[in-house]
Structure 1
Amino acid sequence: MSRTLVEKIWDAHVVKREESFPDILYIDTHLIHEVTSPQAFDGLRKRGIPVFRPKQTVATADHNVPTLNQHLPIKEELSRYQVDMLTKNCAEFGIELYGLGHPYQGIVHVIGPELGITLPGKTMVCGDSHTSTHGAFGAIAFGIGTSQVEQVFATQCLLQQKPKTMKIEVNGTLGKGVGAKDIILYIIAQISAAGGTGYFIEYAGTAIQALSMEARMTICNMSIEMGARGGLIAPDQTTFDYIKGREFAPKGAEWDKELAYWKTLYSDADAQFDKVLSFKAEDISPMITYGTNPGMGMGITEHIPAIKSQPESEQFSYQKALEYMGFEDDKEILGRPVDYVFIGSCTNSRIEDLREIASFVKGKQKASDVEVWIVPGSKQVEKQAIQEGLDKIFEAAGFQLREPGCSACLGMNEDKIPAGKYCVSTSNRNFEGRQGPNARTMLVSPLTAAAAAVTGKISDIRELL
């Protein structure tokens, strides 16, 4: 019987299946951080039970950590409390913690792949919606709530309804200045922020296959922004080459055994998906969002869609979003001045992102009235950037290279965008107040962010390359 990749991995992890009930799904790897784990640990404590398989849980501190002076005590009281609680809980329950000061500390969805913890064919969960990032390796990876975090702690299993499957193909060759972030923002703009609801998405096609692993992670990361349960890409030689030799990746005979299994992880040629969508890479231009959800995106040279062009039931909320952003419909966004540029988050904070930006800004200066933050996704990314001299390029350009963390992706730490200010951001969400109360966020690719940093306004990167 022909099956999709999602079905193959899912079925291999079902512990028990009964009609009219959710599947009991075994979880290979559980990633945790300081925000969604405290209540789950408390639940275990109240019931007097241990973490069932602590060796399959990996913890790091990322959401609440400062990105300057990490050697000093955390200033914000709530942030300090949450990070301290994670340290205490991990020690009590025997879980490996990559906390502040550890060479492996970083954003949970950056450290999993770079350490070789994320592997094809695995089921992976985390109390964080962007867990879909790990699907780039051909894994079933999805975010869970705090009560489910406790479920995995206690049983290493979850009750889950098997999702519907969708295939999104992108074929062709990307144009100059267009990258993975533009691909995913384009797809979301085409199908809306709810277009993937109920589905697990497999990305395929020649344009996807041509991407590096770090670019594939960017694609899968934002699957959740179209309402999908998760997204994944079938593993191939690019995947295997990336994994080999990493800290916790299989070695020796174990590598050979795992590799043989990984090579079976693809959708059968005649597998049936519940939905199939196709896009042409040539149709995609550098993208930017103009509203308050990631589906409100457009090519950077386009005009903001007219309010009257929206379904009548959505016109009020559409107008409200434009008012929040201080934009008018049917107007260009190109040339608009910006106040902040944030390059980071689990979407775009890997070494390739930093190299791409450094290559563009070398010998250039940031605009005088723009503040630029570059926040690496992990200590390892930070170390690599310094070894390659990227920090010197950023410093010469007036960009600030900070320390690892989620930073200004979300207003949960010290890195907040002031009210009313415009931030061009490589992160994944542009909701009202996401980067700070009344902050205005425009989502873009790293190259488009770098262009805004240098020019001080929304610019078409294609004119600057």
Structure 2
Amino acid sequence: MGKTLFDKIWDAHVVSSKDGFPDILYIDTHFIHEVTSPQAFDGLRKRGLPVFRPRQTVATADHNVPTVDQHLPIKEELSRFQVDTLTRNCNEFGVELYGLGHPFQGIVHVIGPELGITVPGNTYVCGDSHTSTHGAFGAIAFGIGTSQVEQVMATQCLLQSRPKRMKIEVNGKLTTGVGAKDIILYIISKISAAGGTGYFVEYAGETIRSLSMEGRMTICNMSIEMGARGGMIAPDDTTFNYVKDREFAPKGEEWDKALAYWKTLYSDIDAQFDKVLYFAAEDIEPMITYGTNPGMGIGITGHIPETGAVEVHEQPSYKKALNYMGLEDGQTLLDKPIDYVFIGSCTNSRIEDLRQVAEFVKGRTKAAHVTAWIVPGSKQVEQQAIREGLDKVFEASGFHLREPGCSACLGMNEDKIPAGKYCVSTSNRNFEGRQGPNARTFLASPLTAAAAAITGRITDVRELLEEPELI
């Protein structure tokens, strides 16, 4: 019997396996940041242990960093303490740190791929849910808890039970205004925020293969939002061309050797999955969420489901979500006034996202009452945007290009959405208070978010894309 892509990589990294016990899995690269690493470093310190393989540990500051005036001391005391603690720990334990001011600084799941640290066939972990992003390269990547961060620091290995395997296949051609973010929001809306629990997902099909690496990373990034352990996509020429010549990618003979191996990384024809789902690209329209988990999503022209259509045991939480969002059964979101737009996060802050938004907003001006933040995922993305003149396009349209960081994805830094305000966000979670206490979040694609900023309300971006000046 053939093997799935997941099993090929997992089996190649098992150090020890015994029936009835978790496998001991070798980890190729361990990403760390300021939020989930302090306790792990303290654990090593108390036990008198070093970081076992510091060269396979990559650190950056992202969650707590401000996105304006990064050359100045961080204003928020807790944020400043966490970033300073990361700096001290990395110095003490000999870990490379891409901190504020470093040309490689940025969101951990953006810098790994753009620096060529993330490559096919490897295993990656981080004390961060959205580590699944790296699976877009044909790798096994998943988030871990702080105690596991310490485990990897001490041994470069991890105790892990093998998850079940799911394949999600998407075929057909996407229609105008629909992109990778819409694909994943559509899938989650169909299978729920718990539909992938216990599985590692492989995305396949002609629609997935047609996506850029940026699009594939968006898909894999949000695998965790359906409860999955992680997501992955088999590598192909799109992958190899993206990785080639990046800072830390293999070079010369090492590249040729690596490429030969990477080309073997696919699920065999007779590989068995525990579950297979199929979706048609033509069924997907621009998506937007209406509730307080990513599974509560609808097509932009749809209506919020009636409470009576929801499972009886879920109705109390469903009503609570609508109440929090200030919405009602059967309501359409079209023309709903909004206050903020956030384009960024490890889901949609790469140069392709910024280019797409800049092309759309060029010659347009945002609504006067809307605050629009564009936050690049890394220093490299920021500099590339400036070289291409995207900053000037944003400025002319009333959008604020800030400095790299997680920003308004989560209320852990200075970029918070005020209580009661509505934000159309390209981030990955719309939980209560995620973007700040009592903030209200609509998840959407960069295009849909940009359209909302221009009109000041939730808008079907396809109507603007059909305007004569854009044809």
- TM-score of the two chains, using structure 1 as the length reference: 1.00
User: Could you tell me which residue of structure 1 aligns to residue 448 of structure 2?
Assistant: 448
1:172 maps to what in 2? 172
- How far residue 403 of structure 1 moved from its aligned partner, in angstroms, is 0.1
Which amino acid in structure 2 is aligned with residue 217 of structure 1?
M
Q: Residue in 1 aligned with 2:65?
A: 65
Specify the alignment match of 1:38 in structure 2: 38
**1:301, distance to aligned residue in structure 2 (A):** 0.7
Measured after TM superposition, the shift of residue 73 of structure 1 is 0.1
Quote the offset at 1:48 in angstroms: 0.3
Q: Tell me the residue number matched to 1:93.
A: 93
- In the alignment, the residues of structure 2 paired with residue 233 and residue 370 of structure 1 have an alpha-carbon distance, to the nearest angstrom, of 37
The secondary structure found in structure 2 opposite 1:383 is helix
State percent identity of aligned pairs.
81
Distance in structure 1 (CA, Å) of the matches to 2:208 and 2:94: 40
Structure 1 partner of 2:161 = 161
CA distance in 1, matches of 2:158, 2:111: 23
Partner of 2:404: 404
Give the Cα–Cα distance (whole angstroms) in 2 for the partners of residues 120 and 266 of structure 1.
11
Q: Name the SS for the 2:253 alignment partner.
A: helix
SS class of match (1:170)? strand
Q: What does the per-residue CA deviation read over 1:322-352, in whole Å, with 9 as the maximum and x for residues that have no partner?
A: 0000000101110000000000000000000
3-state SS, counterpart of residue 327 of structure 2: coil
Q: Tell me which amino acid in the other structure corresponds to 2:152.
A: V
Q: What letter matches 1:445 in structure 2?
A: S
Task: Report the equivalent of 1:107.
Answer: 107
Partner of 1:198: 198
Which secondary structure state, in structure 1, belongs to the residue aligned with residue 269 of structure 2? coil
Amino acid at match of 2:111: I
After superposition, the C-alpha distances for 1:50-101 in whole angstroms (9 at most, x for unaligned) are 0000000000000000000000000000000000000000000000000000
Instruction: Give yes or no for the alignment of 1:318 onto 2:321.
Output: no
Question: How much is the aligned-residue C-alpha RMSD, in angstroms?
Answer: 0.3
Deviation at 1:289, TM superposition (A): 0.1
Q: Matched residue of 1:176: which SS?
A: coil
Hey, what does 1:25 align to over in structure 2? Answer: 25
- 1:152, CA displacement in angstroms? 0.2
CA distance in 2, matches of 1:15, 1:258: 21
Q: Partner of 1:277 in structure 2?
A: 277
Over residues 161-191 of structure 1, what are the superposed CA-to-partner deviations in whole Å (9 max), with x where a residue is unaligned?
Answer: 0010000000000000000000000000000
- CA–CA separation in structure 1 for the residues paired with 2:18 and 2:349: 42
Tell me the secondary structure at the aligned position of residue 74 of structure 1: coil
Q: Secondary structure in 2 aligned to 1:464?
A: helix
How far the C-alpha of 1:253 sits from its partner, in A, is 0.2
Distance (whole Å) between structure 2 residues aligned to residue 412 and residue 54 of structure 1: 27
**How far apart, CA to CA, are the structure 2 residues paired with 1:39 and 1:333?**
43
Gaps of 5+ in 1: none
- Aligned partner of 2:410: which letter? L
SS for the counterpart of 1:78 is: helix
1:126 aligns with 2:126: yes
1:294 Cα offset (Å):
0.1
Letter in 1 for 2:146: T
SS at match of 2:158: strand
Q: Measure how far apart 1:133 and its partner are.
A: 0.1
Residue 251 of structure 2 is matched in structure 1 by 251
Aligned position for 1:392: 392
2: CA distance, partners of 1:80 / 1:385: 27
Give SS of 2:341's match: strand
The CA deviation at 1:448 is: 0.1
Match of 1:211 in 2: 211
Partner of 1:417: 417
Structure 2: distance between partners of 1:332 and 1:162: 42
Deviation by residue 1:384-432 (Cα, 9 ceiling, x = unmatched): 0000000000000000000000000000000000000000000000000
Q: Distance in 1 between the 2:270 and 2:447 partners? A: 38
Establish whether residue 189 from structure 1 lines up as the match of residue 189 from structure 2: yes
* Structure 1 residue 366: Cα displacement: 0.3
Structure 2: which amino acid aligns with 1:451? A
Return the TM-score normalized by structure 2.
0.99
Per the alignment, residue 365 of structure 1 pairs with 365
In the alignment of these two chains, the number of paired residues is 465
Distance 1:444 1:308 in 2: 26
| Equivalent residue number for residue 429 of structure 1 | 429
Match of 1:237 in 2: 237
Deviation sequence 1:81-131 (CA, Å, 0-9, x none): 000000000000000000000000000000000000000000000000000
The letter for the 2-side match of 1:273 is F
Counterpart CA distance in 1 for 2:329 and 2:442 is 16
Residue 335 of structure 1: aligned partner: 335
Say which SS state the counterpart of residue 424 (structure 2) adopts. Answer: strand
Give the letter for the 1:281 counterpart. Answer: A
